[in-house]
Structure 1
Amino acid sequence: MQQISSFKATDTGRLYLVPTPIGNLDDMTFRAIKTLRAVDLIAAEDTRHTQQLLNHFEITTRQISFHEHNTEQRIPELIAKLKSGISIAQCSDAGMPSISDPGKELVAAAVTAGIPVVPLPGANAGLTALIASGLVPQPFYFYGFLERKHQQQVTALQELINRPETMIFYEAPHRLKKTLTTMAEVFGDQRQAVLARELTKRYEEFTRGSLKELRDYFNDHQARGEFVVLVAGNDHPDAGQPVNAQTPIEQVDAEIVKGLSTNAAIKLVAKRNHLNRQELYREYHHIGE
């Protein structure tokens, strides 16, 4: 068992995980500012973006880039620096490191190397949206960003249909309408949801309603800003999905028209209607007739 106290004397540096504001710079904590000033190096997701933050708080600490595209290259370099006694603060563009942002691989490498990892509390978009959503705040299930392709989204959401917890997703504005359409398709039109955008900023906004209402709203309105999508849990998981007037075969055809492969459509419809997938497959392909 490995046990390292952040206050224990050590010959190595420390890795500090420093949250940054998700919009309003006033949400930066005194401890975060103090830490960024005190460390030897800041590993930033986007050094240009972080430089604006550093300039605002008159922090002159040197930066190095650390993002999803240079993880393999940077981790050995950063671990070597930490082992030599250099202290590093790792931060992303907004919010908590490692939560839908870079960081987790560096943390794992530091833990393996016996280097102390010191987390600082701070802003997080998902929890900020959750407590003002009006949905049940706990328990909750954090997912983050879904995959971009429709079929991959359907597969992921199928696994969440019966979860009773409030679910938290992140989504970019240009993909919001497609994601809401897919959620309504899998979870059902009447599942309640909340959209939170531009959190802590001037145009912060919460939009509440069923997935159908939210989907229809954004068919007529442009989505602006980054979104947190909160979906109510399934409080009647044994009830299955809403009754569909179409036959299972018709439902499979409808899903194929929407872009699913035949196998994915059969899987979705079978799960939605509590049918045996293999039997539906044989029926759809007229096998054994």
Structure 2
Amino acid sequence: MVLYVVATPIGNIKDITYRAVEILKESDIILCEDTRCSLKMLNYYGIRKKLISYHKFNEYKLIDKIIEDILNGVKYVLISDAGMPGISDPGKILINRCIGENIKVDVLPGACALINGFVLSGFKNDIFTFIGFLPRNTKKMKETIKLMKETYTALIIYEAPHRLLNTLNLLKNEFGENTKIYIGRELTKLFEENFRGTIEESICYFEGSKIRGEFVICIENYKKDNIQIDDDFILNEFYENKRRFNLTTKENVKKICEENNLKKNYVYDLIINRIDKIE
């Protein structure tokens, strides 16, 4: 008695594990967020099974039948349109019900946009907080963003194209226009787009363009007291300042020292020792 939870590609159709394909081929029924969307991937791998549409509008209606079937030996696999079920996608309710019924839940790892986004951001934070999609209600959205500001980690949210600019403006009002941000679009696809800069720069970047696709947004939100100022931190700051402001080595060292209360001689010696690798 097992419910299989399988991650599917977030863009590139080949980003799926061998085991995931095997489990899908061995299944009796595949629960799909949108059967039309899932069919493209399933047909690519020659998987022809019974598909049932399973989403937030019908999961309570279907759950009793699914549990009964699993207890009777029917092999169910749960997938979403893209990524890992249960991460800003349907799945949590069924998974929790299976746990309550002592049904094993087997999660097959795979693509997940928030992980790609965090890695691509290049932020210094060792930890992150995943928020998911912000509330649609403007008041609740503002309240959530205020709570986010008090969470001193990298912050990761998902956003739809028609709400992107409004969300960025709300983030600017709360975090400040110079807060660093990463925005990823069409991740793993041919035309993947990655923006890195400040919140103000991101607004200028997206204002004049056609905004399509879903977005992963990472906000660098940390207290300097919580960041270990070591050699790696200093060198990362040097790279970032050089990329964004095209500073000379002298200007760069001065900026790093002033912002982090460091001794100029130490920072300068560190940079000079690595300069052949940097410039």
Report the TM-score, using the length of structure 1 for normalisation. Answer: 0.76
Deviates more, 1:115-124 or 1:52-61: 52-61
Match of 1:61 among 36, 42, 49: 49
Question: CA separation in 2, counterparts of 1:135 and 1:212?
Answer: 18
| 1:76 counterpart residue number | 64
- 2:91 maps to 103
Q: C-alpha displacement at 1:81, in angstroms? A: 0.6
For each residue in 1:19-77, what CA deviation from the matched residue of structure 2 results, as whole angstroms up to 9, or x when unmatched?
Answer: 00001011011111000011111111111111111111001121111101001101111
Seen in structure 2, the aligned counterparts of structure 1 residues 31 and 137 have a Cα distance that, compared at 3 Å, is: farther
8 A Cα contact 1:27 1:123, kept in partner: yes
Equivalent pair of 2:5/2:79 in contact (CA under 8 Å)? yes
- Structure 1 unaligned spans of 5+: 1-12, 239-289
Equivalent residue number for residue 187 of structure 1: 175
C-alpha contact (below 8 Å) 1:163/1:237 kept by paired residues: no
TM superposition shift of 1:150: 2.2
Select the structure that is richer in helix: 2
Mapped contact 2:125–2:220 kept (Cα < 8 A): no
1:144 is paired with a residue whose SS is: strand
Q: What is the deviation of 1:236? A: 4.9
Structure 2 counterparts to residues 219-258 of structure 1, below 5 A = 219-236=207-224
Q: For the residues of structure 2 that align with 1:100 and 1:138, how far apart are their CA atoms?
A: 23
The alignment's C-alpha RMSD in Å is: 1.4
Please state how far the C-alpha of 1:138 moved relative to its aligned partner: 2.2
The answer to whether structure 1 residue 152 and structure 2 residue 140 are counterparts is: yes
Which of 33, 36, 47 does residue 35 from structure 2 map onto?
A: 47
The range that moved more, 129-138 or 50-59, is: 129-138
Following the alignment from structure 1 to structure 2, what is the Cα–Cα distance between the partners of residues 54 and 160?
Answer: 38
Kept in 2, the 8 Å contact 1:150–1:182? The answer is: no
| Residue 112, structure 1, aligned to residue 100, structure 2 | yes
Relative to structure 1, the CA distance from residue 77 to residue 233 in structure 2 (aligned partners, 3 Å threshold; closer, same or farther) is same
Residue identity matched to 1:134:
G
State the Cα distance separating 1:162 from its structure 2 match: 2.5
Q: Does 1:134 align with 2:122?
A: yes
Task: Give me the whole-angstrom Cα distance separating, in 2, the residues matched to 1:219 and 1:48.
Answer: 32
Alignment pair present for 1:162 and 2:175: no
Q: 2:18 aligns with which of 27, 30, 34?
A: 30
Q: Distance in 2 between matches of 1:222 and 1:147?
A: 23
Structure 2 residue runs without a partner (length 5+) = 227-279
CA distance in 2, matches of 1:58, 1:119: 22
**What letter is aligned with 2:130?**
F
Give 1:17's aligned amino acid.
V
In the aligned structure 2, how far is the partner of 1:95 from the partner of 1:137?
24
Determine if contact 2:3/2:76 at 8 Å carries over to the other structure. yes
- Give distance in 2, aligned partners of 1:163 and 1:234: 8
The answer to whether the aligner puts 1:173 opposite 2:161 as a matched pair is yes
Q: Is the 8 A contact 2:179 2:220 kept in 1?
A: yes
Amino acid at match of 2:12: N
Aligned counterparts of 1:208 and 1:150: Cα–Cα separation in 2: 26
1:122-146 Cα deviation digits (max 9, x unpaired): 0000101111211135211011100
Quick check: 2:15–2:111 contact (8 Å CA) kept in 1? yes
